[in-house]
Amino acid sequence: MRVSPIGILATGRPELAATLARQDAALTHPNPVCVAASGAYAAAIAAGIAGADHRAMWSVAHAGAGDDLGGEAVRSCLLAALEAGPADLLRNQGWVLLALGNAFRRLWIGQELAAAVVETVAAGGDTDTNAAICGALLGAAQGREAVPLGWRRQVLACRAVQGASVKHLRPADYWADDALELAEALLAVGAGSTFSR
């Protein structure tokens, strides 16, 4: 889920998004499947933000998975998502292919972002990860207006408040109240940059 911003940075350049996401994932999640899933996912986001439809997003994800053993597993997951999502998000919680399969199934059937996120959370399992991956992918496809206004307001107005149960406030630098500005900055930096591999 942390590679979503790479898709924003590399908007319109899915191959670059896949490369950067694979490099990023390899730092802390070197399992070949995690690396391949990150590449596929970021590639789809980069394509979606640039205006690709769900079929094109799926295609660049399939290509962005790479040709190694991890890529083979991710491509199988993407193919399965054309027919059905994961049967159970509770078993093997945290496994990237569950989250990826769920998100791409919901993308493929054209489900609205809000319903997809709510249903993903209701399915249980690693709910925050699964919902974040689903929400970012569908957000790339449907645009930020697909995120309900109330949800956007909650995120953009969220600030840490000192309270009896709060011993250490999250520093302001880590609040999400500037999420839109950060996304715009990533778009601007990405549009004006050439990245070396």
To the nearest 10°, report the CA torsion of 9, 47, 87, 94.
-10
Residue 102 maps to a domain? yes
> How far apart, in whole angstroms, are the C-alpha atoms of residue 4 and residue 41?
8
Work out the angle between the directed axes of helices 113-122 and 96-108 (0-180°, nearest 10).
140
> How far apart, in whole angstroms, are the C-alpha atoms of residue 191 and residue 184?
11
pLDDT of residue 197: 53
Of the candidates 86, 98, 102, 181, the residue with the CA atom closest to the CA atom of residue 136: 102
Residue 38 maps to a domain? yes
Residue 197 maps to a domain? no
Residue 196 maps to a domain? no
Q: What are phi and psi of 135, to 5 degrees?
A: -65, -40
Q: Work out how many domains the chain is built from and give that number.
A: 1
We report the CATH number of the domain holding residue 162 as 1.10.4080.10
Q: From first to last of its 197 residues, what are the pLDDT tens digits of the chain? A: 799 999 999 999 999 999 999 999 999 999 999 999 999 999 999 999 999 999 999 999 999 999 999 999 999 999 999 999 988 888 888 789 999 999 999 999 999 999 999 999 999 999 999 999 999 999 999 999 999 999 999 999 988 887 778 778 888 898 899 999 999 999 999 998 776 55
Tokens for 135, please give them. 């929400």
pLDDT of residue 98: 96
CB 46 within 8 Å of CB 15: no
The domain of 82 spans 4-191
Of the candidates 60, 1, 58, 9, the residue with the CA atom closest to the CA atom of residue 29: 1
Residue 106 maps to a domain? yes
> How far apart, in whole angstroms, are the C-alpha atoms of residue 6 and residue 131?
18
